[in-house]
Amino acid sequence: MGLYRDAQEAAEKIKEAESATIISHIDADGIASEAVMRQAISREAIDVKSVFVRQLEPLTMKHVPEDDSLKIFIDLGAGQQNLLEERGLSENEVIIIDHHISQDTDTPYFQVNGLNYGYEKLSAAGIGYFVAKKIDDSNTDLAKIAVVGNVGDMMAREHCGLIGPAREIVEDGVMHGNIIVKENELNCYGISTRPLHFCLSYSDDPYIPGITNNAREAENLLRYDAGIDIKKRNGKWLVWEDLNPEEKRSIISRLALRLYNAGEPTDRLMAEHYIFPDEFRYSPLRNASEFATMLNACGRWIKPKTGSAVCCGDRGEAYRESEYMLRHHRKIIREMMEYIIDNGVTELSHLQYLHVEDKFPDTIVGIGAGMALSKLNWRLPIMILCYLRDENEEGKDYDDVVKVSMRTNERMVREGVDLQAALQIASEKVGGGGGGHKIAAGAYIPRSAEGEFAENVNRILREQSS
């Protein structure tokens, strides 16, 4: 099959290299991708180093070293091939492993991209895993981290589980012994660490009438309806993973009844979860989705190498630091949600938006946008704008730049919404640039274009839905 053939070719090129540089993205999938590739390459005794960027664009290209190493661009690069060419990188120096839409150009770079073969539910870490497996058959221990990347990039969301090649990776992990598949579990985030009533009340897909955003009512359902004591004997709160199958069934049937009574479909109430038996109970590393949040917490707060070390097995200093990053991340996201709700969004016919100026960093506004959408009108895609902050000494370069993040949901995508196309068109028109996916996209635009931008995006979204 094409994807595996391309992965084989990439593996051969990598094995011939004397040294390699991995250039990856700071989100969960980017960090997982880097960790998979770095381990596979260093096991071949090839010298390898890594560079993380928040986005591959002219200003971050300077972080790509000018040396003889093979440059492996992963979770980015497909959409920025002209940039690589402008930098003077030759065909032999570059491999792109990506799952973003490829730029329509005739650059010569070799690329492994699931989209070339129609795999929309395979993230960069997943593609990187197939390359790693072609480097050496014994790299199946890395399936676990590849699954974290896939889940982190929401590849399991639409079908309530991973499908296609991403599901094959799960099977490899099961065979290896570091993944357990839990079928027909509650489709909810936080099954390993969150107190049960909070876990239920955070459910937004599906939106459960009376329970979503209502922890007290969730507690009532658990205690008085299902008869479950939500505190353990040692005074700790119960988590979903603590429940026995009968208790789980009892809760799920009560939630299903709520949906049924409200005339809502129940088909998304259950999902597949990926549990890691080699991680401690109650640890955020215990399942793929919570592990992915931890990676996002590290990467989006400019500590991607800490997340990567955790992926590679560090349960000492890097793990402690990532726990701190996770607490901080959650606190700021909570504040951002409150800010969005308190300040209110501006609603246009096909879009809702808010400018948070410099109150929240550009690296997290996308996550905040996605979470806020569950508390707002889900029919209107959400756009958050903010000023770009730079951490490096050349921060002034970014003074005139606005970062835009957009999120929508599967239902709107089915109705024709394509945020990637909308932001690409609207940002290029004002001299900026953007991209991403139908469901989640981002862009950079000049501050001077801010005024008209929302109207332009709204118009494109209107055209998409007609």
CB of 31 to ligand C5P, least distance (A): 10
- The contact mask relative to ligand C5P for 29-48 (x = CB under 6 A, - = no) is x-------------------
Find where tokens 């993944």 sit: 179
Min dist CB 329 to ligand C5P, Å, is 12
Can residue 147 be called a binding residue for ligand C5P (CB under 6 A)? Answer: no
Residues written for the chain? 466
> Residue 206, preceding bond cis, omega within 30 degrees?
yes
Q: Which of 443, 457, 460, 461 binds ligand C5P (CB under 6 A)?
A: 443
Q: CB-wise, 39 or 123, nearer to ligand C5P?
A: 123
- List strand residue ranges (DSSP E) for 54-196, in order: 70-74, 94-98, 110-113, 180-186
Shortest distance, CB of residue 271 to ligand C5P, whole angstroms? 15
Among 245-253, 335-343, 362-370, 449-457, the segment contacting ligand C5P (CB under 6 A): 362-370
Among 38, 197, 329, 437, contact with ligand C5P (rule: CB under 6 A): 437
Query: Which residue of 25, 133, 258, 350 would you call a contact of ligand C5P, by CB under 6 A?
Result: 25
User: How far is residue 446's CA from residue 449's CA, in Å, rounded to a whole number?
Assistant: 6
Q: Please, which residue, 295 or 310, has the CB nearer to ligand C5P?
A: 295
Alpha helices (H) in 203-350, listed in sequence order:
215-220, 245-261, 288-299, 304-311, 317-343
Buried b (16+ CB within 10 A) or exposed e, 227-245: ebebeeeeeeebbbbbbee
- For position 436 contacting ligand C5P by CB under 6 A, the verdict is yes
For 148, the token pair is 């974290």
Listed ranges 162-170, 255-263, 271-279, 440-448: which one lies at the site for ligand C5P (CB under 6 A)? 440-448
Is 439 a binding residue for ligand C5P by CB under 6 A? The answer is yes
Quote the crossing angle between the two packed helices 143-152 and 165-176, to the nearest 10°. 140
Comparing CA positions, the residue from 192, 193, 222 lying closest to residue 210 is 222
Answer yes or no whether residue 444 interacts with ligand C5P by CB under 6 A.
Answer: yes
Shortest separation between residue 387's beta carbon and ligand C5P, angstroms: 14
Distance CA 270, CA 188 (A): 8
CB-nearer residue toward ligand C5P: 164 or 434: 434
Considering only 77, 114, 128, 435, the residue that binds ligand C5P (CB under 6 A) is 435
Is the distance from CB of 123 to CB of 155 less than 8 angstroms?
yes
Spell out, one character per residue from 397 to 416, where the chain touches ligand C5P: x when CB under 6 A holds, - when not.
--------x-----------
Give Dmax over CA atoms of the chain in angstroms: 67
Binding site for ligand C5P (CB under 6 A): 25, 27, 29, 55, 75, 153-154, 366-367, 370, 405, 433-437, 439-444
